[in-house]
Amino acid sequence: MFDRLTDKVSKTLKNLTGKGKITESNIAQAIAEVRLSLLEADVAYPAVQSIIDSIRKQALGEEVLLGVNPEQQFIKILHDELVRMLGTETASIPFASKPPTIIMLMGLQGTGKTTTAAKLAKYLRDEQGKMPLLVPADLSRPAAVEQLRSLGEEHGLKVFSTSKTNPIEVCTDAVEKVKKLEIAADTIIIDTAGRLAIDETLMKELLEIQKQTKPDLVLYALDAMAGQDAISVAQKFHEQVSFDGVVLTKMDGDARGGAALSVLHQTGTPICFLGMGEKVDALEKLHPERLVSRILGMGDIVTLVEKAQKAIDEKKALELSKKLRKNTFDLEDFQEQLKSVQKMGSMQDLVGFLPGGAKLKQALSGGLPEREIAKTQAIICSMTPQERRNPKLLNGSRRLRIAHGSGVTVADVNRMLKQFLQAKNMMSRMTKLGAKGMQRGGLPF
Ligand SMILES: Nc1nc2c(ncn2[C@@H]2O[C@H](COP(=O)(O)OP(=O)(O)O)[C@@H](O)[C@H]2O)c(=O)[nH]1
Ligand SMILES: [Mg+2]
């Protein structure tokens, strides 16, 4: 117990004296591990290099937070940056203001275009209330049209049929019939042909379909299992035909999904959906957090990230305890604290490190019921900033106004203020106890 405490305090002091900075040398090991992990997840080499370089730049010189080492903090920064990269680029379907909305799928053979077309149609119908029409424009193999047709039949999805025998005409015919209201549909999903490798005839065909139908969204089906080569192929597709987003298919397999980062890096296009199985309902929207955890590898690294997250919460708690000691803890801080009480981590853990903290830790672990917290938040929101900073202002008429404003009774307001004072007293007692304990240990604080 005492060792841990000493350790924590000395770390704090280290931070305060500015020695706890992220430097090139104290994250070298972490960088090596991250590099390996990304490569193992099939992130293409140039992407790995550039991601690591930019995050290293961002991290260098940052103050290391209490409770983690520089390497852990570096990984946390990396994790957050990857989530941001994948997340801010998430594209949703840009529905045309004047229907039909046209979505075109392309990619190599066997990557999951046809399956994805059916998945998208089902998603649009069941979750977006749309009337999709599937257009089989892969006439390279007789079985391809049949495949889409049978998927459509099985799930009650409309599949276009025509006497036309040229893929471009099939598409223009479908669009025309929908526009003329001969077919009731507001979204058109075009399933195109693929090849085993890039092929000039195919590229021309895709370009022509694009030119003629002017799709609102062109999606590229990328097989998550396909490895690094697939990225240069995607890049060529993007250069020659261009697409707006990627569907990463076969993510139900072992692939960690590094291709998502590579393709984003190489083409700048976002990942829109993940294919999670052969079934028609196995389509997921991208959850950046989840994907990043998977790419970085589960287990160790994610635990480190969580630890770093906790340390950040602890830093907040430390700031709070300073306020308590100076007796400047007000309702704004209380509101902030309530938010983290809901998470039940920060205060509790901080307290655990202080002498005599065990009991308080127990007391805090009970938490407050969700509804109570929501009510308290509402009451605090109805106060003016002055009132929050100086609760002594809260006389009878102000309390009545707040009760009206937050839809509670004056008794509720009174109870909440009493709770606030109790919390403040309890926390300030605890902080004093903690400070004394540390002095006993001969450490200045
Ligand atoms: N496990 C899994 N298999 C998939 C997924 N998407 C497609 N497939 C399978 O991959 C194969 C090729 O899919 P298909 O849609 O015909 O690819 P296309 O040639 O690009 O049209 C089929 O056996 C599909 O069942 C997916 O997300 N997960
Ligand atoms: Mg197909």
Q: How far is the CA of 44 from the centre of ligand 2 (A)?
A: 26
115 CA closest ligand 1 atom index = 15
Q: Range(s) for CATH 1.10.260.30 in the chain?
A: 329-440
150: amino acid identity, one letter? S
282 CA closest ligand 1 atom index = 27
| Predicted local confidence at residue 95, as pLDDT | 92
The dihedrals phi and psi of 152, each to the nearest 5 degrees, come to: -65, -45
Q: How far is the CA of 102 from the centre of ligand 2 (A)?
A: 18
Asked whether 65 and 312 are in contact (CB, 8 A), the reply is: yes
- Which residue of 115, 220, 284, 285 sits with most ligand 1 atoms within 8 Å of its CB, as the best mutation to test the pocket? 115
- The domain 329-440 having CATH identifier 1.10.260.30: the answer here is yes
The CATH number of 101-296 is 3.40.50.300
- Which residue of 145, 278, 284, 286 sits with most ligand 1 atoms within 8 Å of its CB, as the best mutation to test the pocket? 278
Q: What angle do CA 205, 207, 208 make, to 5 degrees?
A: 65
| Predicted local confidence at residue 438, as pLDDT | 40
Q: Name the closest ligand to CA 224.
A: 1
| Predicted local confidence at residue 301, as pLDDT | 59
Q: Which helix (H) or strand (E) holds 8?
A: helix 2-16
| Predicted local confidence at residue 326, as pLDDT | 75
The residues near 199 (Cβ < 8 Å, ≥ 6 apart) are none
In this structure, the residues whose C-beta lies within 6 A of any atom of ligand 1 are: 107, 109-115, 194, 221, 249-250, 252-253, 275-278, 282
| Predicted local confidence at residue 402, as pLDDT | 94
Q: Name the closest ligand to CA 276.
A: 1
Atom 14 in ligand 1: which residue has the minimum CA distance? 112
Of 424, 320, 427, 416, nearest in space to 374 by CA: 416
Q: How far is the CA of 278 from the centre of ligand 1 (A)?
A: 6
Asked whether 138 and 253 are in contact (CB, 8 A), the reply is: no
Q: Range(s) for CATH 3.40.50.300 in the chain?
A: 101-296
Q: Name the closest ligand to CA 284.
A: 1
The residues near 10 (Cβ < 8 Å, ≥ 6 apart) are 443
- pLDDT tens by residue, 51-99: 999 999 988 888 777 667 788 888 888 888 898 888 865 557 889 999 9
109 CA closest ligand 1 atom index = 19
Q: Which helix (H) or strand (E) holds 133?
A: strand 132-137
Digitized pLDDT (tens) for each residue of the chain, 445 residues in all: 444 444 544 454 444 434 478 888 888 888 888 898 898 888 989 999 999 999 999 888 887 776 677 888 888 888 888 988 888 655 578 899 999 999 999 999 999 999 999 999 999 999 999 999 999 999 988 899 999 999 999 999 999 999 999 999 999 999 999 999 999 999 999 999 998 888 899 999 999 999 999 999 999 999 999 878 889 999 999 999 999 999 999 999 888 899 999 999 999 999 999 999 999 999 998 888 888 988 887 445 556 666 666 766 667 767 777 777 777 778 887 777 666 555 544 444 444 444 444 555 555 555 555 667 778 888 998 999 899 988 899 999 999 999 999 999 999 999 889 888 877 777 677 666 655 544 333 232 2
| Predicted local confidence at residue 311, as pLDDT | 65
Q: How far is the CA of 38 from the centre of ligand 2 (A)?
A: 30
Q: How far is the CA of 110 from the centre of ligand 1 (A)?
A: 6
Atom 10 in ligand 1: which residue has the minimum CA distance? 112
Q: Name the closest ligand to CA 220.
A: 1
Atom 6 in ligand 1: which residue has the minimum CA distance? 112
Q: How far is the CA of 108 from the centre of ligand 2 (A)?
A: 9
277 CA closest ligand 1 atom index = 28
253 CA closest ligand 1 atom index = 1
4: amino acid identity, one letter? R
- pLDDT tens by residue, 146-181: 999 999 999 999 999 999 999 999 999 999 999 999
Would you give the DSSP letter of residue 63? B
Atom 3 in ligand 1: which residue has the minimum CA distance? 278
Between the alpha carbon of residue 233 and those of residues 59, 222, 260, 343, the distances in Å are 33, 10, 14, 45
CA 386 to CA 398: how far, in whole Å? 12
| Predicted local confidence at residue 241, as pLDDT | 94
